[in-house]
Structure 1
Amino acid sequence: MGASLRPDAQNQPEVKRVVISGYYGFRNSGDEAVLKSILFALEEEARQQGVRIEPVVLSIDPAWTTQMYGVEAVHRMRLAEVIRAIRSSDGLISGGGSLLQDATGALTIPYYTGVLKLAQLLRKPTFIYAQGIGPVNRRWMDPLIRGVMRRSAYVSVRDAESAALLGRIGVSAERIDIVPDPVMGLPLPEGMAAGSNSSVSDESAAPVIGVSLRHWRKDGADLTRAAEALRALARSRAVRLRFLPFHTPSDVESSRLVMEQLGELGPGSSAEIASPGDDPQHMLKAVSECDVLFGMRLHALIYAANQSVPMLGLSYDPKIDQFLKRVGLTAIGTTEQLNPDMFVAEVGRLLDRREEWLSTHKAAIEQLKQEARRPAKQIASLLRHNK
C-alpha cells in the first residue's frame, strides 16, 4: 500500500492511514459517540498489535472534528478532497451508525456506497464497522449495497436483523460479523469515576430520571404521551427529570415542548435540561449520573447500558427494539402508545429494585462491551497483514 511506512531501525510501529466515513461533524451526540468509540478502539487494538493507525475523518465540519478529536479531517462533500484522502490511505472504514438506510431520503445510501465504491476503485481495502442496515424500501438500492459489501475485506453489523437484511439483498451470511454498537465500548472521560448515580452519592436527594426524547410524529402526539407519563411519575413520587438533548438544537426544542406540557409537578419533583456539551464522553458521564433513563434515542439507551443504568425505551424505530432485545428488555411503549400507569409502576420498580435489575442484565451488558471491540481488532489485524 502506497501510504504504509515501514518500521525503522528503532522498531517503530508501522503506520497505517485509514479514512473513516460516517455521519460525522453534524454534532449529533450519538454519531459523534460512534466516531469517538471507533477512534478509541482502533488506537487501543492497533497498539496491542504493534501498529499505529492515523485516522482521516470525512466530516461536514472538518475544523470542528479536528478540534474535537485531534485527528485529520476533510470535507465529506468535496470530492477532490475525499479522493485525495482515500488515495493516500491504506484503507477505508464505513461506519458505524445507520448509514445504509433510505428512511431519511434517497441520497443517503448512494452517498455512503459511493464512498465505499470509490475506495474499492482505488484498490483500497474497505471495512464495514458495526453498521445498522435498513430500512431499505427502494429495491433499486439493493445492488449498490450488495456490490460494496461483497468487495469489502470485513463486514460487521450491529444486530441480527441487519445481517438478515444483507442476506436477503445477496450478501453471504458467512461474511457478516454481528457485533454490538461501538459505543458500548466507550469509556468515561479520564479522571471521571463511574457509579456516581444520585442514589449512591446522596441518599436524601430525589432520584434522577434521565429523559432523551426526539421529535418523530408530525402531530407531536408521541411527545404529548411522554409528557403525560412523566407528569404522572413526578406527581407519584419526588424525582428530578433531567432532559438530555442528544441532537442539538432539535432535542432541546423537543425537551422544552415536553416540559411545557408537564404542568404542576408533585412535592420535591423538578425538571431541567442538561447541557453536557458536544463531547460524547461528557454526555456518557451525564447518563451515568442518572438512576433510571427513559429514552427514544438509540444512543441514550446504549449509554445507559454502557454505564449499567436501568432503562426504559420508547420505540420509534426497529433499531430501538433490536438493541433492547440484546440486553434482554422490551420497550415500555412506542410513538403510538404509552400507558402512564404502567410507566410509573415500571420506573418505581427500577428505582426500588435496582440491584435486581443489575443482576439480571449484567452478563448481557458485559458481553456486549467485550464484543464491541471485535471490529477494531479485526481491522487492525487486516491492516497489519496488508503490505
Structure 2
Amino acid sequence: MISSDRTSELNRPINLGDAMLTDALVAALRARGNQAIAADFGEPRHGGGEDRLQLSGPGALLRAMRDFDGIVIGGGTLLQDDARDVPGGWGGLPRLCAASTVIARATRTRVAFYGVGCDPVERFGARALLRLAVKGVPVWVRDAKSASRVSHTLKGNAIVGADASLLMGFDPRGEAADDAPIVVALNGEHARHLKVEHLDELKRSGRRLVFLNMSQGGSFMDASALSKQARAAFDEVTGPLDWDEAFRLIRSAESVWGSRMHALYAAMLSGVPMVALSELPKVVTFAEDFVIPRVDDTSGMADVRPGMADAAALSAAVATADSTLDDLLLAFRGR
C-alpha cells in the first residue's frame, strides 16, 4: 500500500491523519485475509502503528514490485497539487501517484486507488501527472465531489466509495468525563489567524484547552504558526505523537474544533461532538455529508455550537467503506 504517510526524523508520523488512514486500510486488508504492508518513503519508523516497508524512492519501489501481487494507493487527499513551491507542478503527490501507477503498469502489477480525495488541480504539470496516474486505473474516491473532479479535471473514471478511516468502524463513547478537555486541531494557515478572542467562548467553559498538532513534520508543527498570545491561551500544546495517542486524546475530549479533517473524522468515529472551522473544499464536503456544524474560519467560533454527525449518514458511509473495499479486492482477483 502506498499513501502520503511518512515518518519524520523524530520517529513519528509527519501527518497524524495520513498515519491513521494508512493503518486503518492496512488493518482492513489484513482482516480480509491478505498480506498487506505500507510503503514509507520517510525515515525508518521504530514502534507505533503497522510495520512499514522503507523505500528511498521510485527505484526502490520498482525493485520491491517483484514481491507484490497488487498496489493499493490509498487514504487521504492524494489527488491534489501539494507542491506549489515546485516550479511547473512536477513534484509532490502528483509525482508519487504517477510514478506508482507507471511502475505498476511496467511490471504488470495490479494497481488501484482507494478511499482518496481529489481537490481542485489548476497547474498544468500537476494535472498532467495526475491524469497519467488515473488513466485506466480503478479509482475509489471518498465523496461525490472528488469523483466529479476525477472525471472532469483528470479525465479518469471514479467510483464513489468512502474515506479509509471509516474502515475502523464507529465506537460511540457515551458521556464525557467532568475533566474532559476541549481539543482544537488547526492547520498552519488557520492557526496563523487564530486570535485570543476567538477562543473566549471555549475558555469560559472552564475546561482545559488543548491544541493538537496533527502535522508534526520535524521542525514544523501546526502550533508553530500560532502567535505567542494565542499559544499562551492553551493549557497544553501537544508534542510529537503517534496517531493512536492523538486518537485517545480526541476520544477523551468534551468537543473537537478543527480545520484538520481527520481530527474531525476521529471525533466522529469516537462519538465526540465537533465543529469544522474551514472553507477548504474537503472540509466543506465532510461537513455537508455528515451534517456537521461548520463556520468558514476561527473568527466564527462564538457563533456555532458542537454537534454530532448524522447517525444515518455515518452508518451508510461505514457500510460503503466495507463494501467498496471488498469490490476492490474482487477486482484485483479478476472476479
TM-score calculated relative to the size of structure 1: 0.74
Q: Give matches, 1:1-387, under 5 Å.
A: 19-26=1-8, 27=13, 28-44=15-31, 46-47=32-33, 52-61=34-43, 63-64=44-45, 67-77=47-57, 79-105=58-84, 106=89, 107-108=91-92, 109-152=94-137, 154-169=138-153, 171=155, 175-186=157-168, 195=173, 199=176, 201-202=177-178, 205=179, 207-216=180-189, 220=192, 222-224=193-195, 227-235=196-204, 237-248=205-216, 249-254=220-225, 257=228, 259-260=230-231, 262=233, 271-274=235-238, 277-278=241-242, 280-334=243-297, 338-342=299-303, 346-347=304-305, 350=306, 357-358=307-308, 361-385=310-334
Distance 1:72 1:276 in 2: 19
Tell me: CA distance 1:208–1:67, structure 2 relative to 1, closer, same or farther (3 Å): closer
Secondary structure of the residue aligned to 1:25 is coil
Distance in 2 (CA, whole Å) between partners of 1:126 and 1:361 is 34
Offset from partner CA, 1:318-369 (integer Å, 9 cap, x none)? 111111111013522326xx23541xxx33xx4xxxxxx54x7222122222
Alignment-mate amino acid for residue 368 of structure 1: A
Amino acid at match of 2:80: Q
Q: Indicate the SS of the match to 2:130.
A: helix
Change (3 A) 1:217 1:299: closer
Deviations 1:165-220 (A, max 9, x none): 11113535xx42212211123269xxxx86265x3x34xx4x521111221169x3
C-alpha RMSD over aligned residues: 2.8
Unaligned runs of 5+ in 2: none
C-alpha separation between the residues in 2 aligned to 1:40 and 1:258?
41
Residue identity over aligned pairs, in percent, reads 22
In 1, distance between residues paired with 2:112 and 2:229?
A: 41
* Contact 2:258–2:275 (8 Å) recurs in 1: yes
Which range moves more in the overlay, 250-259 or 321-330?
250-259
- Match for 1:233: what amino acid? L
CA pair 309-276 structure 1, distance change in 2 beyond 3 A: farther
Contact (CA 8 Å) 1:97, 1:132: kept in 2 or not?
A: yes
Match of 1:267 in 2: none
* Greater gyration radius: 1
Indicate the SS of the match to 2:59: helix
The 3-state SS of whatever aligns with 1:93 is strand
Q: How far 1:255 sits from its partner (Å)?
A: 5.8
Amino acid aligned to 1:362: A
Unmatched runs of 5 consecutive residues or more in structure 1: 1-18, 263-269, 351-356
2:121–2:153 Cα contact (<8 Å) kept: no
Cα distance in 2 between the residues matched to 1:380 and 1:68: 27
Q: Distance in 2 between matches of 1:168 and 1:385?
A: 28
1:139, 1:38 → 2: CA distance? 31
Q: What secondary structure sits across from 1:166 in the alignment?
A: helix
For residues 277 and 303 of structure 1, the distance between their equivalents in structure 2, rounded to whole angstroms, comes to 15
Distance 1:147 1:277, change over 3 A: closer
> Retained in 2: the 8 A contact 1:184–1:303?
no
TM-score normalised to the size of structure 2? 0.84
Q: In 2, are the aligned partners of 1:245 and 1:252 still within 8 Å (CA)?
A: yes
Amino acid at match of 1:165: R
- For residue 372 of structure 1, report the CA deviation from its aligned partner: 2.4
Against the structure 1 CA distance between its residues 340 and 158, is the aligned structure 2 distance closer, same or farther, given a 3 Å change threshold?
closer
SS in structure 2 of the partner of residue 54 of structure 1: coil
Q: Is the 8 A contact 2:97 2:133 kept in 1?
A: no
Instruction: Please list the CA deviations of residues 134-180 of structure 1 after superposition, one character each: whole Å capped at 9, or x if unmatched.
Output: 2211134434323332321x2111122211111113535xx422122
| Matched positions, count | 321
Query: Following the alignment from structure 1 to structure 2, what is the Cα–Cα distance between the partners of residues 101 and 297?
Result: 16
